[in-house]
Amino acid sequence: MTDVYKIISDTTLTYHQQVKALAGLAEGTDLESLPLTAEEKAAMQDGILCDLNEGRVPYRPRYIIPDYSILMEKGSKFLDLPVPTTLLEACTYLNIMYKHVPSITTFPVYLGNLDELLEPFVQKETYENAKAILKMFLLQIDRTLTDSFVHADIGPKDSLTARILLELSCEMQCAMPNLTVKYDPEVTSDDFAKVCAKAMLKVAKPSFANHKMFCEDWGEDYVIASCYNGLKLAGGGYTLPRLRMYELSLKANSVEDFKTRVLPHYVDIMLKFMDKRIKFIVEESSFFKSNFLVTEGFVKRENFTGMFGMVGLGECCNHLLGITDKTKGYGHNAEADQLGVEILEELEKLVKAHEGLYCEGCGSRYGLHAQVGIDSDGRENSPGTRIAVGNEPIMPLHIAHSAKYHKFFPTGTGDIFKFEETWENTPDAVVDVIKGAMNMGMRYFSGYLENNDVVRVTGYLVKKSELAKLDANGQSINNASIFGKGARDFSNALDRRIEKYEESSN
């Protein structure tokens, strides 16, 4: 009851945020449905295994990726929606459906490839009418799907719909929804890429996904959801627990001991933990038995997979090598960087050797995920494989470093770059940087201008003006602002190195 009272008396939480917190509290209180083994308890107590607030009784998959094209083609019997015939109907029906798509956040984490869904309807409208309708569509998303883990995709091809959405994003300066452009220089025109780069600088979206790389991992039917999660269309992610690699390194006596004893032991613990949770979601909870998303074919069980998360690779490598000065370690030290590659090779081998449950459409294997981190990770576990904030080298070196690791993470990884204002005058140079980064093997590129109100924290978006409201004990409509404040305060997440044009273009 102490925890309940703390939630209901917190003046910085909106009503919906209180309801969400109370539901999460209830989800975590059942200790019998999925009891922890002694090894799992010990790993959690040591800070190595983290269930990322999924609780003890998962009653839906963590991330759900509906195929919204079915709504456009067939409507929905459960929602009593016919096939849309106009842009206004299409946008309205989508917003209705979004309300009924669950996730770990209570909001949908994927809104669809919006340009593909809406382009046929946009083409029937005048430019002015299309823009007016899409503006109300985005406004409703921002005010009702109040969590910037809500994510939409555009691209890889140019379209009028995508251009209007980008134009409106810059004008409206909304943190919701998060947005990614699927980018392939052979398919995406330089002009459209430049439009995307301009928007990325001004409003921290869209991020650029390496379309070729994701297609190689998933085929054409992949999506980017939540922060930067690569998942299969009409599927999703059952669960996303994580290993904190720094805490893991504390268990090792040497690099060799870490690779041969410590890492395999804890990977095995987490894989069994994932199996148990997925088995419960599929066999015990009602989602795959009765939810309309399943019964009407919007999602298929076999297209889901388990996401094996990790954070803190850099700090892990530094500790194993006895490096205490981060400016001389991971990201600046060839030995530490190579150790990171070797650790991920071992981790990938262990995860790929495990036959995952109920994920036949994903090769019956779970996917590695470089998780963005949470505020309780502190400064000893940087997100995924990133260099500690504030210690980044100049952008060309930073990109070369990131590219070493992105190939290991089919279910998502990414790096973020904060640009000085000069870059706004040269969006073509930004496109060249991104094109070069993806040629080197970078999977996902995000950026924003240093003076933006809308900024990217670790993978999600917040507005600095909303953080100021929380600082003053006010409320923020964006659920993610709470996480952003914690990441700012405890992990220095907004203090990235500023990319100066002269340094990075020479």
Identify whether 25 is part of a domain.
Answer: no
Rounded distance, CA 204 to CA 417, Å?
10
Token pair of 327, please? 């400016």
Q: Where are the alpha helices (DSSP H) in 296-420?
A: 313-320, 334-352, 395-403
Rounded distance, CA 43 to CA 255, Å?
20
Identify whether 120 is part of a domain.
Answer: yes
Please give the residue range of the domain that contains residue 111: 31-506
Number of H helices, E strands in the chain: 22, 17
> Do the Cβ atoms of 151 and 177 come closer than 8 Å?
yes
Token pair of 270, please? 């987490």
- DSSP one-letter string for 17-29: HHHHHHHHHHHTT
Burial class (CB in 10 A: 0-12, 13-18, 19+), 350: middle
Rounded distance, CA 170 to CA 164, Å?
10
Amino acid at 241: P
pLDDT tens readout for residues 323-346 = 999 999 999 999 999 999 999 999
Identify whether 15 is part of a domain.
Answer: no
Peptide bond connecting 264 to the previous residue in cis, omega within 30 degrees of 0: no
The candidate with the shortest Cα–Cα distance to 146, out of 361, 397, 369, 466, is 466
37 phi/psi in degrees, rounded to 5? -75, 165
Please report the pLDDT score of residue 505 as a whole number.
Answer: 59
Task: Say which residue the tokens 């009028």 belong to.
Answer: 160
**Residues in a beta bridge with 19:** none
Please report the pLDDT score of residue 423 as a whole number.
Answer: 97
Q: ∠480-311-440 over CA atoms, to 5°?
A: 100
CATH number assigned to the domain comprising residue 226:
3.20.70.20
Identify whether 49 is part of a domain.
Answer: yes
> Do the Cβ atoms of 165 and 207 come closer than 8 Å?
no
Please report the pLDDT score of residue 379 as a whole number.
Answer: 81
Burial class (CB in 10 A: 0-12, 13-18, 19+), 349: exposed
Please report the pLDDT score of residue 504 as a whole number.
Answer: 63
Please report the pLDDT score of residue 292 as a whole number.
Answer: 98
Token pair of 315, please? 């700090």
Please report the pLDDT score of residue 32 as a whole number.
Answer: 79
Please report the pLDDT score of residue 77 as a whole number.
Answer: 98
Rounded distance, CA 322 to CA 179, Å?
40
Cα separations in angstroms, 2 against 8, 16, 25, 254: 10, 20, 11, 43
Cα separations in angstroms, 189 against 121, 122, 185, 199, 480: 23, 20, 7, 16, 33
pLDDT tens readout for residues 173-214 = 999 999 999 999 999 999 999 999 999 999 999 999 999 999
Cβ contacts of 301 within 8 Å, gap of 6 or more: 282, 288, 294, 358
Please report the pLDDT score of residue 7 as a whole number.
Answer: 92
Identify whether 8 is part of a domain.
Answer: no
Peptide bond connecting 156 to the previous residue in cis, omega within 30 degrees of 0: yes
Identify whether 353 is part of a domain.
Answer: yes
Going residue by residue through the chain, which has 506 residues, state the pLDDT in tens, using 9 for 90 and above: 688 999 999 999 999 899 889 988 888 887 778 999 999 999 999 999 999 989 888 999 999 999 999 999 999 999 999 999 999 999 999 999 999 999 999 999 999 999 999 999 999 999 999 999 999 999 999 999 999 999 999 999 999 999 999 999 999 999 999 999 999 999 999 999 999 999 999 999 999 999 999 999 999 999 999 999 999 999 999 999 999 999 999 999 999 999 999 999 999 999 999 999 999 999 999 999 999 999 999 999 999 999 999 999 999 999 999 999 999 999 999 999 999 999 999 999 999 999 999 999 999 999 999 999 998 887 889 999 999 999 999 999 999 999 999 999 999 999 999 999 999 999 999 999 999 999 999 999 999 999 999 999 999 999 999 999 999 999 999 999 999 999 999 888 999 999 998 766 55
The candidate with the shortest Cα–Cα distance to 51, out of 316, 280, 393, 338, is 280
Cβ contacts of 272 within 8 Å, gap of 6 or more: 37
Identify whether 169 is part of a domain.
Answer: yes
310 phi/psi in degrees, rounded to 5? -150, 150
Identify whether 3 is part of a domain.
Answer: no
Please report the pLDDT score of residue 27 as a whole number.
Answer: 82
Please report the pLDDT score of residue 30 as a whole number.
Answer: 74
Say how many domains are in the chain: 1
> Do the Cβ atoms of 65 and 77 come closer than 8 Å?
no
